[in-house]
Structure 1
Amino acid sequence: MAKQTGFWSIEDRLEEFSAVGDPLETLNRTVEIERFRPILERAVGRPRGIKDGRPAMAVVLKFRMLVLQSLHGLSLEATEKMVRDRLS
């Protein structure tokens, strides 16, 4: 069965990002982000328990977002828009 492509096909969207120089791919190639995990987890403190409400966002993911935000001079709103676009 052939794959049906649509206007919002995720594969097509990711290929478009790669073609224009996806900043996430560049960051992943040049910086070993996981190396910062122990430092980030110590800085955040104790892990949140179930009673504390919604689970916290992964610290490495937050750090990656902050690095991209600072490298590209993005506002918080612009960063949020890019993250939502990436998720959609």
Structure 2
Amino acid sequence: MDQLSFFDLNDRLAQISKIGDPLEVLNEIVDWSKFDGVLLEAKAKDLTDRRVKGHAGRKPFSLRLMLKVFVLQSLYNLSDDQMEYQIKDRLSFMRFLDLGLNGTVPDA
């Protein structure tokens, strides 16, 4: 199997756009930064409700990324396991979430 090049990936994404990627349209319509304040407030409240000790473990994913994951999960009615699989499998999901092919994907 031939190795995929950067241009091959861009060509494939361009083809997906040409066909009409609803997630690309959603990303253009929604200003996701408008949610940042509310997400930070919710995270702060969650941290005060729980006693978090230390900063061990993997760095958490951005709140905006996780919001967009929940949007996808709701739109496509996916379980956590299926959401993880679809993010890894679908270029349109990766683009919507601004993840590259080698990006770390939230696990189920």
Q: Structure 2 length normalisation: TM-score?
A: 0.60
Cα displacement (A) at 1:40 = 0.6
Task: State the partner residue of 2:70.
Answer: 66
Considering Cα pairs closer than 8 Å and 6+ residues apart, tell me whether 1 or 2 has the greater RCO: 2
Measured in 2, the distance between the counterparts of 1:61 and 1:77 equals 17
Q: Alignment partner of 1:28: what SS?
A: helix
Uncovered stretches (5+) of structure 2, i.e. residues with no partner? 95-99, 102-108
Measured in 2, the distance between the counterparts of 1:7 and 1:82 equals 22
Measured in 1, the distance between the counterparts of 2:81 and 2:18 equals 25
Uncovered stretches (5+) of structure 1, i.e. residues with no partner? 1-5
Q: Alignment partner of 1:55: what SS?
A: coil
Identity %: 33
Measured in 2, the distance between the counterparts of 1:64 and 1:81 equals 15
Measured in 1, the distance between the counterparts of 2:83 and 2:11 equals 22
Task: State the partner residue of 1:18.
Answer: 17
Measured in 2, the distance between the counterparts of 1:17 and 1:76 equals 25
